[in-house]
């Protein structure tokens, strides 16, 4: 209500999020799923298929199921709904009716989602309080400056337990959390580092072996007066060729893994041009560094010694 008093605010709305247990329609096992409680008719979630069916949530006990949820966890809910239409299910031991489907997708927290009206939400989870929403959504009037309104509302609330953010800031905060705080971000960082280390060792061994096998030829050229930068150019050229030859099949294999992971887990996996370019730059840098290390034997050697 304090936020609603701001002159640039057109509307405020609460949204409630918690984990609940949904009974698998095929096995009868209970599986954790994300429950999202909204006030029907206020268009809090701008998902096209959900907006079309939002009015159904005004009826107590009616829920919408995310058809991108993992079938292996929750059973073929979407398939059964498309065949039979609305049908009964159990959430937290309470009877509900699956009354529609929408598209959202899985997350690191849950492998599926259900959306329901707030009366149904609080009927299923008595421990959740209407006065303590998970998020407070703020809709600004047309032409309002989001950052200025955010700062003003934050000053008005002056509460240590409330964070006021624009949509972009909220999204970035989530990304930063999973990248920097959660264990999964650390795993990806370690995996990237280990990949570079192992790749560097392999490339170094290949180039070092090649330099060693061609020492007589290099010695002849060195005795003829060719400078070290000439040999460095040859090795670095090999390094770049190796990086490109490894990058092409690597991209193809990665794309296959991305597609398989997305289909299996429901996670959004996008192999973008930016990611591919960044990987190519890291690969080329790794190969060049390995090539420079492999050149040490040749740079330090005397031409006469190379013929022994």
Q: Which pLDDT value is given to residue 211? A: 78
Please count the other Cβ atoms lying within 10 Å of the Cβ belonging to residue 223: 13
Q: Which pLDDT value is given to residue 299? A: 67
Same domain, 86 and 201: no
Same domain, 33 and 130: yes
The pTM of this model reads: 0.75
Beta-strand ranges (E) seen in the chain are: 9-23, 30-38, 62-66, 87-91, 94-102, 113-117, 135-140
User: Is the pLDDT reported for residue 13 higher than 90?
Assistant: yes
| Strand-pair partners of 15 | 135
Same domain, 63 and 17: yes
Same domain, 121 and 45: yes
Same domain, 49 and 132: yes
What does the alpha-carbon distance between residue 45 and residue 67 come to, in Å, rounded to a whole number? 16
Give the total number of structural domains in the chain.
Answer: 2
Same domain, 138 and 211: no
In-domain check, residue 33? yes
Same domain, 237 and 300: yes
What does the alpha-carbon distance between residue 4 and residue 12 come to, in Å, rounded to a whole number? 6
Residue 271, classed as helix, strand or coil, is: coil
Same domain, 186 and 139: no
Convert the pLDDT of each residue in 258-268 to its tens digit.
888 887 777 77
User: Is the pLDDT reported for residue 124 higher than 80?
Assistant: yes
Q: Which residue has the higher pLDDT, 157 or 9?
A: 9
Convert the pLDDT of each residue in 130-156 to its tens digit.
888 999 999 999 999 999 999 999 988
Cβ pair 116, 63 in contact under 8 A: yes
In-domain check, residue 239? yes
Point out the domain boundary residue: 124, 144, 164.
144
**Is the CA virtual torsion 283, 288, 291, 293 positive or negative?**
negative
Residue 99, classed as helix, strand or coil, is: strand
Same domain, 205 and 128: no
Same domain, 203 and 75: no
In-domain check, residue 157? no
Residues 6+ away with beta carbon under 8 Å from 154? 164
Point out the domain boundary residue: 87, 117, 144.
144
Same domain, 220 and 274: yes
In-domain check, residue 112? yes
Convert the pLDDT of each residue in 211-252 to its tens digit.
777 777 777 777 787 777 787 788 888 888 888 888 899 899
Domain of 63, in residue numbers:
3-144
In-domain check, residue 236? yes
Tell me whether strands 94-102 and 87-91 are parallel, antiparallel or unpaired. Answer: antiparallel
In-domain check, residue 42? yes
Same domain, 259 and 129: no
In-domain check, residue 153? no
In-domain check, residue 149? no
């Amino acid at each position: 209500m304090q936020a609603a008093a701001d002159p640039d605010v057109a509307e405020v709305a609460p949204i409630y999020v918690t984990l609940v247990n949904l009974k698998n329609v095929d096995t009868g096992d209970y599986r954790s799923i994300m429950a999202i409680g909204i006030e029907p008719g206020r268009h809090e979630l701008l998902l096209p298929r959900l907006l079309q069916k939002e009015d159904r949530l005004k009826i107590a006990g009616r829920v919408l199921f995310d058809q991108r949820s993992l079938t292996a966890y929750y059973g073929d809910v979407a398939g059964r709904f498309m065949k039979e239409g609305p049908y009964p299910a159990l959430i937290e031991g309470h009877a509900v009716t699956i009354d529609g489907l929408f598209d959202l997708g899985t997350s690191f927290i849950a492998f599926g989602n259900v959306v329901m009206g707030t009366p149904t939400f609080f009927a299923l989870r008595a421990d959740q309080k209407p006065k303590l929403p998970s998020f407070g959504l703020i809709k600004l009037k047309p032409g309002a400056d989001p950052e200025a309104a955010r700062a003003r509302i934050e000053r008005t609330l002056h509460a240590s337990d409330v964070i006021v953010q624009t949509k972009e800031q909220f999204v970035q905060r989530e990304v930063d959390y999973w990248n920097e705080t959660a264990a999964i971000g650390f795993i990806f960082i370690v995996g990237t580092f280990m990949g570079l280390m192992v790749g560097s060792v392999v490339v170094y061994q290949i180039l070092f072996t090649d330099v060693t096998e061609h020492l007589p030829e290099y010695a002849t050229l060195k005795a003829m007066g060719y400078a070290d930068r000439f040999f460095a150019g040859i090795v670095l050229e090999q390094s770049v060729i190796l990086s490109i030859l490894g990058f092409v099949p690597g991209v193809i294999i990665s794309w296959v893994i991305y597609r398989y992971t997305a289909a299996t887990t429901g996670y959004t996996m996008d192999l973008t041009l930016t990611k591919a370019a960044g990987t190519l730059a890291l690969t080329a840098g790794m190969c060049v560094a390995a090539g420079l290390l492999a050149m040490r034997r040749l740079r330090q050697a005397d031409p006469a010694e190379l013929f022994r």
